[in-house]
């Protein structure tokens, strides 16, 4: 018998034993089965992205809170652009996009599963005055990517809640 199949079986056994799993649907806590998503703007791109990910994770996302439902409260989502580097002619050469998300998660009794905290993501990009349209499109693309990345990061944070 070849050692290669045996090595693969052993490797798979070790990975399964340590809890490794491929990224797929989120494994959210049972307390989130029904969750009211309290956001400042339900129609924001981030809120729509988060709602899709929660539903894909098996969460019944409520439009109104119910008795016993969890509450995922987004206190603020701030996506801003700041100058990063400035040339000798006092012109901005690079910007950084900063996305801060301030949130908390309460269980059905109003007790915090995650106390209020802030997540932050950043992306840097170059700015060329000769290609303003391209720079603007790059910023729009990066903003969309940041919203998706933040929704993923929040989902990973929600998955990390210890089981009761």
Sorted by where each begins, the domain ranges of the chain are 23-159
Q: What is the pLDDT of residues 41-85, one digit of tens each?
A: 999 999 999 999 999 999 999 999 999 999 999 999 999 988 776
Q: Scanning the structure block, which residue is given the tokens 């988060």?
A: 50
Q: Count Cβ atoms below 10 Å from residue 142 Cβ, excluding itself.
A: 20
Under 8 Å between Cβ of 58 and 34? no
SS3 content of the chain, % helix, strand, coil (to 5): 35, 35, 30
Q: How confident is the model at residue 114 (pLDDT cuts 50, 70, 90)?
A: very high
Q: Which of 102, 114, 101, 116 is nearest to 70 (CA)?
A: 114
Sorting pLDDT into bands at 50, 70 and 90, what band is 17? low
More confident residue, 117 or 12: 117
The CATH code belonging to domain 23-159 is 3.30.160.150
Q: pLDDT value at position 136? A: 76
pLDDT of residue 162: 81
pLDDT score for 122: 94
Judge contact between 132 and 92, C-beta under 8 A. Answer: no
Provide CB contacts within 8 A for 160, sequence distance 6+.
none
Burial class (CB in 10 A: 0-12, 13-18, 19+), 161: middle
């Amino acid at each position: 018998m070849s050692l290669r199949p045996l090595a693969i079986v052993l490797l798979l056994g070790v990975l399964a034993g340590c809890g490794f799993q491929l990224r797929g649907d989120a494994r959210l806590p049972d307390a989130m089965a029904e969750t009211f998503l309290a956001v400042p703007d339900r129609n924001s791109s981030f809120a729509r992205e988060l709602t899709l990910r929660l539903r894909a994770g098996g969460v019944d996302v409520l439009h109104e809170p119910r008795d016993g439902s969890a509450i995922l409260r987004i206190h603020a989502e701030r996506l801003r652009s700041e100058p990063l580097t400035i040339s000798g002619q006092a012109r901005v050469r690079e910007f950084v996009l900063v996305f801060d998300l301030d949130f908390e998660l309460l269980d059905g009794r109003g007790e915090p599963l995650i106390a209020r905290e802030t997540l932050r993501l950043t992306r840097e990009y170059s700015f060329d005055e000769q290609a303003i349209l391209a720079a603007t499109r790059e910023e729009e693309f990066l903003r969309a990517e940041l919203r998706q990345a933040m929704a993923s990061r929040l989902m990973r944070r929600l998955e990390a809640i210890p089981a009761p």
